Amino acid sequence: MYTKYLTDRAQRNAFLETRRAIETRHKTAKENNKQERLLLSVLPRFVVLEMIRDMASDEDEEFHNNRKILSAQQFHRIYIHCYDHVRYGCSHF
């Protein structure tokens, strides 16, 4: 009887832990989508994709180096693109 109680308790704890992990993953995905939509509302898609790619590679580097701290270089990249022969939209200036 006592063994069954311990087994049930362990299974319940495992279930709750799995449920919390799934909820956290869902919330993280939702926040990532919000962040991407916000970026896409103010920046061109190719710049946003470049930023996402760079952030993902930074996270991979930190994971492989076993570092859990926030990188000091995270916001020091500048995403500037130069174009030749650009015409301004308003011609009345």
In this prediction, residue 25 carries a pLDDT of: 97
- % the chain with pLDDT above 90: 40
pLDDT digits (tens, 9 = 90+) for 34-75: 999 998 999 889 988 988 888 888 766 666 666 555 555 556
3-state secondary structure the chain: CHHHHHHHHHHHHHHHHHHHHHHHHHHHHHHHHHHHHHHHHHCCHHHHHHHHHHHHHHHHHHHHCCCCCCCCCCCCCCCCCCCCCCCCCCCCC
